[in-house]
Amino acid sequence: QFLLTQWWFRLDSFEPLLSTLCFVVYLLAWGVVDLHIPFAHKFRIQQSNDNSHWDISGNFVFVIVIYLMPLIVFDSLYPRRADKLPTSAPPFWWVMAEVLAGLVVYDLLFFFSHVLLHKVPFLYNEVHAKHHRKSVMRAVETVALTVSDEACDVACSVVALNVLKCHPLSRVVYDIVIIFLLTELHSGYDFPWMLQNVVPFGIFGGSRRHTKHHLDGRVYFQKFFVYLDNSFGYVSKEKGT
């Protein structure tokens, strides 16, 4: 009920604005870890002190503008959110179930689009290569995307949430969670409390696999889970990976 009375929650552009805020907060936090907390560096997957990734102020503003402006214009011309917001919130367990389902469906959709971006030379060179520009991983690489690459990624999330008909509250939690996971995935760190080290049975891929993907674009196309990579054989044959 509190959220329903807030003008900002009723904005059609609320979700894109929330996503942008999450990216800013999380990337600033990872930047602090990289630049000002040397104790954490022992958990880096690659033992490199290259922090040139963080010279991004102009590029980051450009990414935000390119992402937000078309959505804000569209939402202004086609207002629809306020009248469709449900009047009651689902139980906590239902929100968690929808968030998890959203991550699973997103991961499924992204896997096949990601494989396509790598297997078709034109798509890789024109759309996806920018994301693989660095050989050392830092969280800011999460937003090192072309406009087309970014649109594809966002579309996977939008389709997942719409297909599942997720409650607006679930969508809020989903945005907060997935953006944290995306920045963690690209952080280049392997902390003991990360999901790949906590979730049992090795069902969560995490930053180790994704770092390997950025170094060898032939393996580990899933972002979060492992079942599709394992099923299709997109795994590293190196011992211990």
What does the pLDDT look like over 166-223, one tens digit per residue? 999 999 999 999 999 999 999 999 999 999 999 999 999 999 999 999 999 999 999 9
Do 224 and 99 meet the contact criterion of CB atoms below 8 Å apart? no
The model's pTM is: 0.92
Q: How much is the pLDDT for 58?
A: 54
- Res 7: pLDDT: 84
Q: What is the mean pLDDT of residues 87-106?
A: 96
Q: With 60 as the cut, is the pLDDT of residue 142 above it?
A: yes
Instruction: Write down the pLDDT at residue 68.
Output: 80
Window from 6-15, 110-119, 124-133, 232-241 with minimum mean pLDDT: 232-241
Q: Give the DSSP per-residue string, 45-113.
A: SS-----GGG--HHHHHHHHHHHHHHHHHHHHHS--SGGG--SSPPPHHHHHHHHHHHHHHHHHHHHHH
Whether 31 shows a pLDDT value over 50: the answer reads yes
Instruction: Using alpha carbons, select from 3, 37, 14, 4 the residue that is nearest to residue 175.
Output: 14
Task: Give the pLDDT score at 238.
Answer: 66
pLDDT tier at 240, thresholds 50, 70, 90: very low
Tell me the C-alpha distance between 138 and 140, whole Å.
Answer: 6
Work out the mean pLDDT of the chain and round it to a whole number.
91
Identify which has the larger pLDDT, 60 or 221. 221
pLDDT band for position 69 (cuts 50, 70, 90)? confident
Average pLDDT over residues 57-70: 70
The pLDDT assigned to 72 comes to: 80
Report whether pLDDT(59) > 70. Answer: no
Distance CA 107, CA 122 (A): 23
